[in-house]
Amino acid sequence: MVQKYYDADADLSYLKGKKIAVIGYGSQGRGQALNLRDSGLDVIIGLRPGKSWEEAEKDNFEVFSVSDAVKKADLVQILLPDETQGPVFRSEIGPFLRDGASLVFSHGFNIHYGQIVAPEGVNVFMVAPKGPGFMVRRTYTEGKGVPALIAVYQDISGDARNLALAYAKGIGSTRAMVLETTFREETETDLFGEQAVLCGGITSLIREGFETLVDAGYSPEMAYLEVLHETKLIVDLIYEGGFTKMRRYISNTAQYGDLTRGPRVIGPESRMAMEEILAEIQNGTFAKEWILENMVNRPVFNALTRADEEHEIEAVGAELRKDMPQFKNL
């Protein structure tokens, strides 16, 4: 069984008197930095001049250049976009790390695929919240937390696990649940999850369903409500109580269709595609493709993003949501 940790297993005093530099102030950077400060810890921010810098100052943080923040810090939490971490690490972080400092990540990509090679004299560990930054913040202010993964890659101080747990407590995650994993497992499962199921799988499923209905002559509005809008209602039930709870709430007709037709939509062919996708993650093919894509200014990323933004489902959805009061403040 995987080890689970809660508040009582974590001791904030491992971080007392230590300076934490959060590098980046985007989704995770802002959420984690605010929570750590509210937990009584000493937090500074490292950035380049720009929008995030202004935002961090508005939130009353001391902001420094990346290298200056790193020079001052006992812990350096790297919350830059994954694809920029390697180059920024090589020029602005690595050379300025204090001996004995801790290098912290919220995703294992750069360590696992060798884009960041940490110096020998530092701890390397991960605290990866399993939710977006705004949820990390929102749940914390409600006295709750987002579950997180911790993993220790390099332990030179002998207390890297305790530091990781203390950090997880500082962002509120031990209030929910913290699981221990490895950089490899976190990286590969995270990439697989977002590609095959959470982001790639779901958007493809919805898009194909929408196009099938619209191509058959049904109105785009009906198709949108049916295959996109209702997704959330079903997913919320699955989230709360698994397939069993969801099936208690749908009609018997829906349940029979679910059980007999679902495996025809996502069947052996999809399973084979999933296994291929996992193999590309495991053997580095995906990582290499994404790193090279960034070196040539993302032609594929930009073209495919634009194509999906221009898809009919997006325009229909935007119009419908305008007329639904529940979307007024989103």
Out of 4, 62, 81, 233, name the contact with ligand NDP by CB under 6 A. 81
Of residues 37, 107, 169, 175, which one binds ligand NDP by CB under 6 A? 107
**129 lies in the binding site for ligand NDP (CB under 6 A):** yes
Which residues, numbered 216-235, are part of the site for ligand NDP (CB under 6 A)? none
132: contact with ligand NDP by CB under 6 A: yes
Question: Does the protein bind ligand NDP through residue 147 (CB under 6 A)?
Answer: no
> Closer CB to ligand NDP, residue 67 or residue 157?
67
Q: Does 66 bind ligand NDP (CB under 6 A)?
A: yes
Query: What is the DSSP-derived secondary structure letter of residue 137?
Result: H
Confirm or reject binding of residue 52 to ligand NDP (CB under 6 A): yes
Partner in contact with 148, chosen from Mg ion, ligand NDP, none, beta carbon below 5 to 8 Å by kind: none
- CA dihedral defined by 78, 84, 87, 92, rounded to 10 degrees? -40
Q: Which residue lies nearer to ligand NDP by CB, 61 or 224?
A: 61
What are the backbone angles phi and psi of residue 240, rounded to the nearest 5°? -75, -40
Helices (H), the chain: 27-38, 51-58, 66-72, 82-88, 109-112, 133-141, 160-170, 183-192, 200-215, 220-224, 230-249, 252-265, 268-282, 285-295, 299-309, 312-322
In the residue annotation, 311 being an active-site residue is answered as: no
Cβ at position 280, least distance to ligand NDP in Å:
18
Residue 251, annotated ligand binder?
Answer: yes
Cα dihedral angle (195, 196, 198, 202), rounded to 10 degrees?
110
For residue 329, what are its two tokens?
């403040």
Q: How far apart are CA 167 and CA 179, in angstroms?
A: 13
* Sequence-separated (6 or more) residues with CB below 8 Å from residue 133: 26, 27, 28, 29, 30, 31, 32
Q: Which residue is nearest to ligand NDP (CB)?
A: 26
Q: Tell me the CB-side half-sphere exposure of residue 312, using CA atoms within 13 A.
A: 15
Q: Which is nearer to ligand NDP, 136 or 165 (CB)?
A: 136
Question: Least CB distance from residue 313 to Mg ion, whole Å?
Answer: 24
Give 48's contacts (C-beta < 8 A, 6+ positions apart): 65, 66
Size of the site for ligand NDP (CB under 6 A): 24
Which residues in this chain contact Mg ion in the complex, by CB under 5 A? 190
195 is in an annotated binding site: no
Residue tagged active-site, from 107, 112, 229, 311:
107
Comparing CB distances to ligand NDP, the nearer of 25 and 224 is 25
d(CA 231, CA 179): 28
65 phi and psi angles, rounded to 5 deg: -60, 160
Binding residues for Mg(2+), by number, are 190, 194, 226, 230
Binding residues, by number, are 25-28, 48, 52, 133, 190, 194, 226, 230, 251
Residues taking part in catalysis: 107
